[in-house]
Structure 1
Amino acid sequence: MELISPVAFEPVGSVTNVFFDDKNQQVFSVRSGGATGIIVRGFSDEFISTFLSSQDLGPIFTIKLSPNQKVLAVQRAKNQVEFFKVLRTGLTGSIDEVHKFIQVSKGKSSTILGFFWTKDNEILFISESGLEVHFISNLDRGVIKNLRNQTFTMNWFVYSPSSSFLLCSSSSSTSSLQPFIIRNSHIVKVSKIDINQKEVLVKEKDVIIIEAFHKIFVGIFIHTPNNSSSLHLYSLSSKDTLNKSHILRLGRPGPFSTNVVDNVLVIHHQPTGTSLLFDPSMPGESDGTLIHMDPITNTPVCIKSGDNCDMDGQYPLQWAAFQPDLIVDGKEGKFWRLKLRIKPFIIDNIPDLRKKIEFLLRREGSKRTLLDILFEKCTEVPLDLTNIGHAFDLINLEYVRHLSYKNQTSTSGSSSYGGKSLMPSSTLGNCVKVIIDQSDLFTNVFSLLVGDETDSSVDMTLKQKSFVLMEYFRSLKEHEIPVQYFLDELLINLMVQMGSWFQLHQCLQYQIFTDSKPLSCLLLSLESVYPPAGQLALDMLNRLGTANPEIVEILLSKNIVLSALKFAETDGGNIQPRRFLESAMSSKHNSLFYSTYKYFERRNLLLRGSKQFASSDNCDKYVRRFAELYPQDCD
């Protein structure tokens, strides 16, 4: 993993305190209680420099800007929050102290433990006596209204600004937690979490709230006497209930901190300077109720800061992790985003191909890496067709689910594709970020695999290459995905190179290839080297049911005139006698010419009441030839 997008700020010092607002992802460097300046830095290029007061009015407990950056909220006293209108001028600003106003906690002697902006003009107070939602109705006049209250004896809490999800505890160590959601200015009470671990009490540092694949999880670190910890995940359902779903095996004692990067849960272990990676959407070991998971990689990963990975075996103690992907170092005066470096370390440390494919399918921008891995696996000697087949099955299953997910209606819990009922790949819904289709594999894997025989990087026999392609065809058929023509052509040409006519015949008879007009034309071109290919092409065109004109042309080119006439009649189109008579005459079989000529005489009699050909038929040549051969039959 790597720290990217560094932002520098004035670090903690003798006169400087540092605060981090994870809602707006901003760092506040506050000098002398704001009297000598406040610098606000974020990931955007701009920064805000402002002054809170002309004098130091005491220590600041918390400071936050509203999401629209127009109101500054500051807590100096235990039971109240001050609000200031921010007057911006370019990159600097000042505080409108004239319009300053104060909101006191509803329980006037109750300490405000924290506050959070939920909207541009709405703020949540979390106090010792419960929750309060306040609304600033008029900023210039300092009018603030109390919207909602929820009584709760609060000892500590954990809050997620991105989801407005809150966990509350009434004691310093507890076996139960009360969740709330702030939704549409309401306080929604969620079912309580009861930790059913014997003699285990959790503290604030043991609880996290994360989001992955648009789903909220509550995580609780459980520490056992044998110095082996685990993370228990509770997922929030659409019905606002929390259900225990996963147990992540950490295999080491704490302390831990967490981030979520590209829907991967990253658990940092400060004492060893390593991080463990988990993806709750991937398969694990199920006991029928819970999914037990080990880390994705077989060895822990470390965070690199630029080109330097030397951290003396530990992560700096002053590092603080904030959701989803932020690392703040108040002592050094920097904060960063955390990025997954999929290649080479993470991928190289996932030995199982199936697990590797599942991981990459769920990562943004990993298509190129996934295709490279597939090409590498498909060109390995000896071939591991079992694992290659599993990889193809995973890709095709997610491709079908992707199509199904796109087409499902708002009222159905599942949908179908190709007659199959399909459910999402996990309880988290559609987690796949990369879709691999036939054209992707053709361009980046199969055409390179089959292509240049002189390419020394592909040390495979033609038979081995055909095995790989046949395995992909098998997977497509099992998932009821029609095979595209360019893949049919690739495999047929490979079989022709090998001289595998029997296998080709079988594939055509059992319809391994998808019937199409281009494919029938390809088969016709092979008739000179494999005569049965012509009949196989005709059978294919006949199955299509829409290719009678093409069948007629093929039969006429072979002088099979009477069969051509049958197909022409079935098609119901305008039959031109000259084409059929010419084919019959060129066959040098007088009996065939006779039968064809008599057929058109009967047809002319039926259509026009006369055996004679119309002048527009241009059949004088054939009339004369018939008279020469059969003068006794001429009227």
Structure 2
Amino acid sequence: MIEDVSDDYYLELCDTPIRFESVSKVTNVFFDDSNKQVFAVRSGGVTGVVVKGPTEQMTTSFCMEDKGPVMSIKFSPDQQVLAIQRTKTSVEFVNFIGVEGMDSVEYSQSCKGKNTVILGFVWTCNSEIVFITDHGVELFQVVPEKHCLKALKSHSLGVNWHVFCPQSSLLLLSSGTLGNQIQPLHFKPGNIIKLTKFEIELGVVPKPAKLCLLERDVTLAILYGSPSIVVLRHQPRGVAGQGAEVVVYSIQKMLTARKSHILRLDMSGRFAINVIDNLIIVHHQASKTSMLFDINMAGESDGFVTYHQPVASMRPIKPFSMCLPAATGSQMLGEPAHINCELYSPNWVVFQPNIVIDAKLGCLWYIGLRLQPLVNLIQDKCLLVDFLLQRKDSKPVVIQVLQSILEPTEQNRSHLVVIAELFDHLNDVYRSFLEVEMQSQMGTPASSGLSVSPARPAAPVQPKAPVVIDQSDMYTNVFSRFADRHTKDGDLVDGGKFVVWVLLEYVRSLTDFHIPVQHYLHELVINSLVQHKAYYQLHQLLQYHVVSDSKPLACLLLSLENLYPPAHQLALDMLKRLSTANEEIIEVLLSKQQILPALRFVRSIGSVDQVSARKFLEAAKSAGDPTIFYTVFKFFEQRNQRLKGSSTFSKGEHCDTYVKYYQTLFNNNDNNTAL
């Protein structure tokens, strides 16, 4: 169902946030951005830990001995081992064994280097963990059954901070005085793969030099299937007074990072970044608004970098209110149980890809994208449809947009060029989908086998967009809807012409992209042409084979004979061109009492020996013309003589009735009438 909204908020917080105990003097809150788990760690004698995750299986609680303040805490991806960092030089591990729960034995692993400080750690897979230290990284294999770790690989490098992306298993290490020397590492089971080191450009280099590129300004994300580094640059390079910008570095083939996109924010202040459905969302705290960027959309380019403006104007996140938990202190004081949450709060911390945590309030939200408001905010309809096709679950909204654009209004009639371009955009994606589908079915690169067409490039690895609007979608939800309405309510001349033009333009676009047009679309085109008395155009379409020949189409033409008499001959010509519809042609001729032409057709295709005598004799009798009946009867007597040596009909042909009828008509007089 498409949400009927009157507001223009294109971002919203999820209806049911994950609630956890808020930060206090006795409770610390940690977030594991790999497993998306919140740990509320309550200290004092015995450490109580409550874990809230995205699923029930990732939600648990347990107690452990208080051995000092917890600096970081994370489960392995399979939730079998818990890693706890309490000091700057070691990490403790505890096994979780099925229904038995937490193991009583803890085991520890220190970092290898002397005077080395652990900055953090991440699980790279179920049984491997990497320590990030100020001197590099150390990869270990965790062996739970032996309560120990085994060193696998290491890489030495002075490290300021790190950023990890669990989806791509990429780790960025910041080094150098300014912090802009970046070493990407790709983790595979048992191995560390070094990518080419690169330097992130800084807007302004401070003097004296100091660390100015911070962890909070760098985000690792997956954009359109490719790992990307998203960097917030508070002051553009070499430009004064233009506000901040976001620089996107694309990682190519897991080898090198290249600066590919710049997002212009044109404002300054405190920002935070999320990635939702391949869109970069930039939140601005001072204005309490968010911006939407799509690197897939066209922008200005200098040949190396593409510069982008926001897809739509800035908007705040949709207001959110929630009920406080029962029996809280505020309720006991008589305050309302329902509160409006402060959006863009200073307490907000943003995590990837689409998570916002308010540790003081004790809430974790997923930010969602609302497509419906964007329909009115993006004015260029081709850009709008291109944008929507790239969004998951957007098909109902795309269909609604198409229905609106193709409504036969005065405004839409003046935008015929836009509609033609729109169809080409839809069918470009449709074609890529068909090529990928064919490749997957055949197990080989798709060729031009979709239709008779020139050689085309090899099929893409995946469709150009995740949402495809095919012929069936257009017919069911758009075209037939208009056709039915005009049939019932009558039609203005201009409106009828518009509908016909739209249908023909869509067929043109399909043909240009070498996509075979389905017969139901051809039927709709022909019905519309006849309904609007566009007979000249209909004749041209058929004469020049714009509409493909098919039996269903020929039958449709036959049914339109009362409205357009030449349709009968057009149908016969189509059936003859098909060369596989001989039986249908005979039936059509006989139904029109064109018995002798039917016999001539039988002779022309060499099927005299196979046709049913009874069928022709019945048609000749129904015609009520003795001469025709005589001719047909003698035709089949001669066939009998040639095939069996006797002019009589066999019992299996069930022609006794027609023999008696012949005898009644002619009293056995044998008058010959030539075909």
TM-score by length of 2: 0.83
Please tell me whether residue 166 in structure 1 is matched to residue 171 in structure 2: yes
What pairs up with 1:236-275 in 2 under 5 angstroms?
A: 236-238=251-253, 240-275=255-290
* RMSD over aligned Cα atoms: 3.4
Map of 1:542 onto structure 2: 576
Q: Which of 49, 52, 57 is 2:61 aligned to?
A: 49
Q: Does 1:147 align with 2:152?
A: yes
* Residues 536 and 191 of structure 1: CA distance in aligned 2, closer, same or farther (over 3 Å): same
State the AA in 1 paired with 2:68: G
Tell me what 2:83 maps to. 73
CA contact (8 A) 1:58 1:76 kept: yes
Q: 2: CA distance between counterparts of 1:176 and 1:286?
A: 26
SS at match of 1:77: coil
3-state secondary structure, aligned to 1:461: helix
Query: 3-state DSSP class of the match of 2:261?
Result: strand
1:354-376 Cα offsets, whole Å, 9 max, x none, are: 11111211222221111111111
Query: Matches of 1:376 and 1:180 in 2, distance apart?
Result: 49
Taking a change above 3 Å as real, the CA distance of residues 256 and 282 of structure 1, as seen in their structure-2 partners, is same
Distance in 1, Cα, partners of 2:279 & 2:480: 33
- Post-superposition shift, 1:162? 2.8
Tell me the secondary structure at the aligned position of residue 466 of structure 2: coil
| SS of aligned partner of 2:178 | coil
Q: Which residue of 1 aligns with 2:327?
A: none
Q: Structure 2 vs 1, CA of residues 71 and 601 (structure 1 numbering), >3 Å: closer, same or farther? A: closer
Q: Does residue 532 of structure 1 match 2:560?
A: no
Cα pair distance change 1:271/1:140, threshold 3 Å: same
Residues 113-132 of structure 1: pairs in structure 2 closer than 5 A? 113-132=119-138
2:418 is aligned to 387
Matches within 5 A, 1:58-457: 58-86=68-96, 96=104, 99-137=105-143, 139-195=144-200, 202-222=213-233, 223-224=235-236, 225-238=240-253, 240-297=255-312, 299-306=313-320, 315-343=344-372, 345-379=373-407, 381-382=409-410, 383=412, 384-408=415-439, 416=448, 417-418=450-451, 419=453, 421=456, 429-430=462-463, 432-453=465-486
Tell me if 1:15 matches 2:26.
yes
Mapped partners of 1:25, 1:458: distance in 2: 57
Paired residue secondary structure (2:255): coil
Report percent identity of matched pairs: 39
**Cα separation, partners in 2 of 1:626 and 1:515, compared to 1, 3 Å:** farther
Q: TM-score, normalised by structure 1?
A: 0.88
Q: Is the 8 A contact 1:404 1:422 kept in 2?
A: no
Q: Is 2:73 aligned against 1:39?
A: no
* Structure 1 residues 554 and 489, CA gap change in structure 2 (3 angstroms): same
Counterparts of 1:457 and 1:292 in 2: how far apart (Å)?
A: 50
Instruction: Output the CA distance in 1 between the equivalents of 2:83 and 2:267.
Output: 40
Partner Cα separation in structure 1 for residue 344 and residue 532 of structure 2: 58
Q: Distance in 2 between matches of 1:579 and 1:140?
A: 85
Tell me by how many angstroms 1:259 deviates. 1.4
Instruction: Note if contact 1:272-1:315 (Cα within 8 Å) is conserved in structure 2.
Output: no
* Cα 1:191/1:558, change in 2 over 3 Å: same
Shift of 1:632: 8.1
Instruction: Tell me the distance in 2 between the aligned counterparts of 1:266 and 1:472.
Output: 35
Aligned length: 622
Shift of residue 457 of structure 1?
13
SS at match of 1:12: coil
1:245 deviation in Å? Answer: 2.8
Structure 1 residues 423 and 320: alpha-carbon distance in aligned structure 2, compared to 1, 3 A threshold: farther
Aligned-partner Cα distance in 2 for 1:83–1:160: 22
Task: State the distance in 1 between where 2:639 and 2:99 align.
Answer: 94
Which residues in structure 2 correspond to 1:494-573 (within 5 Å)?
A: 494-569=528-603, 570=605, 572=607
- Mapped to 2, the partners of 1:85 and 1:197 lie a distance apart of 44
Amino acid at match of 1:553: E
Cα distance in 1, alignment partners of residues 672 and 359 from structure 2: 113
Partners of 2:482 and 2:255 lie apart in 1 by 51
Aligned partners of 1:515 and 1:151: how far apart in 2?
A: 71
Identify which range, 405-414 or 74-83, moves more after superposition.
Answer: 405-414
Tell me the CA shift for residue 467 of structure 1. Answer: 2.3
Whole-Å separation in 1 of the counterparts to 2:158 and 2:543: 75
Amino acid at match of 1:290: V
Q: How far apart in 2 are the matches of 1:411 and 1:522?
A: 38
- Deviation of 1:415 after TM superposition, in Å, equals 5.2
1:301-350 deviations in Å (ceiling 9; x for gaps) = 322242599888x711221111111101112111111111112x222211
State the Cα deviation string for residues 514-550 of structure 1 (Å, max 9, x = none). 3222221221122233221111000111122210011
- The 10-residue stretch of structure 1 (239-248 or 585-594) with the greater mean CA deviation from structure 2: 585-594
For residues 200-252 of structure 1, the C-alpha deviation after alignment (integer angstroms, 9 at most, x for no partner) is 67433332100133321112233323243332222233353333332222222
**CA distance in 2: counterparts of 1:114 and 1:385, whole angstroms:** 59
Cα distance, 1:610–1:324 mapped onto 2, change above 3 Å: same
Contact 1:273 1:311 survives alignment (8 Å): no
Residue 36 of structure 1: how far off its partner (Å) = 4.2
Change in Cα spacing, 1:622 to 1:318, as seen in structure 2 (3 Å) is same
The Cα shift of 1:81 comes to 0.9
1:42 & 1:291 partners in 2: Cα distance?
38
Gaps of 5+ in 2: 1-10, 206-211, 323-338
Contact 2:320 2:341 survives alignment (8 Å): no
Pick closer, same or farther for the CA change 1:9–1:528 going to 2, 3 Å: closer
Q: Do the aligned residues in 2 keep the contact of 1:25 with 1:42 (CA within 8 Å)? A: yes
1:56-98 per-position Cα deviation (integer Å, ceiling 9, x unaligned): x4332211122232322111221111112347779xx6562xx
* 3-state secondary structure, aligned to 2:424: helix
Aligned to 1:51, the other structure's residue is in SS state strand
Contact 2:288 2:316 (8 Å CA) reproduced: yes
Q: Give how far 1:448 is off.
A: 2.0
Q: For residue 610 of structure 2, what is the aligned residue in structure 1?
A: 574
Tell me, in whole angstroms, the C-alpha distance in 2 between the residues paired with 1:538 and 1:517: 10
Indicate how the Cα distance of structure 1 residues 457 and 27 shifts in structure 2: closer, same or farther if over 3 A, else same. farther
119-128 or 457-466, larger mean C-alpha shift = 457-466
